[in-house]
Amino acid sequence: MPSREWETPRYGPHVERHVDRVDVRQDDDELTLILGAAGVHVMLIRLRYAGWVDEVINPAGEIAPGPGAWTLIGRELCLDFGPTAATTLGFPRDCRLQLDVDDDAIRRARAALLEILDCACFVVDTAEGRITS
């Protein structure tokens, strides 16, 4: 396996970020999952219906393609970004988020992620059941 020492994401490798807010917004043009902590956005995961493009937006407003793979196991969301997307966003390639939210927020996040990141490989295992791509 090649060395990953050259990668220096802003949050460090495999750093788990805690999320205490999940919001889902939808209009005619897009569906957006907003993940926040301590009153600020941690990341936005968006599907633009024009072209069915999924993308991620960091707190600085930088945009990159969505992850190639993701998992939601219980309350842990893992996003596997490509090297270019990780560099653009300043996130580790293996970005892990702990969703410290209630069950209703987990259900909303699950539903939004399944729609937004439908083209990526995924494993979802929450109280609503297990799904894999």
Residue 99 has pLDDT above 70, yes or no: yes
State both tokens at 94.
Answer: 């293996």
pLDDT, averaged across the chain: 87
Confidence at 122, pLDDT banded by 50, 70, 90: confident
Query: What is the per-residue pLDDT across 16-74, written as a single tens digit (0 to 9) for each?
Result: 789 999 999 999 999 999 999 999 999 999 999 998 899 999 999 999 999 999 999 99
Q: What percent of the chain has pLDDT over 90?
A: 73
In this prediction, residue 5 has a pLDDT band, given cuts at 50, 70 and 90, of very low
Q: Where are the domains of the chain?
A: 16-132
Q: How far is CA 11 from the centre of its chain?
A: 15
Q: 90 vs 8, which has greater pLDDT? A: 90
Residue type, 116: I
